[in-house]
Amino acid sequence: LHTVTLPLPDEAATAALGRRLGAVLRPGDLVALRGDLGAGKSALSRALIRSVTHEDAEVPSPTFTLVQTYDTAIGPIWHFDLYRLSGPDEVYELGWDDARAEAVALVEWPDRLGPLLPPDRVEVTMEHDGPDARRATLTGHGTLAARVATADWT
């Protein structure tokens, strides 16, 4: 398994990673975003979405709505925050099949998917490394392993 570890000394570095991710994703891809509350999962997602829409786009956290959808230069993006999901099957009510069929899915709290977590995915784990510093670990699984391994992350 190919893993890339990236230091993110400030929020600008996280935003730059979001832009790089946006440049390698295609419809049908899923990114599982892991890390504690405040680790920067939503900040990374926001930068990614802005990089493929416009820099001042409204990108609210899907904390309460569980999902936000966007039309972007790389096709639809569905941004999920599944923290409040009561069980895996509830994602179908959020439009999961449509998301998987035609969109890039960015998924915070992917463990909530249980057995529905797809084998082909990019895993991004964000960790605190000081008040304004974070560390990101990227791993490509299944068909996305090669894409993570060959992309330029720096």
Please select the residue that binds Mg ion; options are 18, 20, 42, 103, rule is CB under 5 A.
42
Residue 89, number of CB atoms within 10 A of its CB: 11
Calpha distance 141→43 (Å, rounded): 23
Near ligand ADP in 17-76, by CB under 6 A? 35, 37-43, 61
Q: Minimum CB separation from ligand ADP for residue 33, in Å?
A: 7
* Strands of the chain, DSSP E: 3-8, 30-34, 67-72, 75-81, 104-108, 121-128, 134-141
Q: Give the type of residue at 62.
A: P
Q: Is 41 in the site for Mg ion (CB under 5 A)?
A: yes
Applying CB under 6 A, the residues found at the interface with ligand ADP are 8, 10-11, 13-14, 35, 37-43, 61, 108, 132-134
Applying CB under 5 A, the residues found at the interface with Mg ion are 41-42, 108
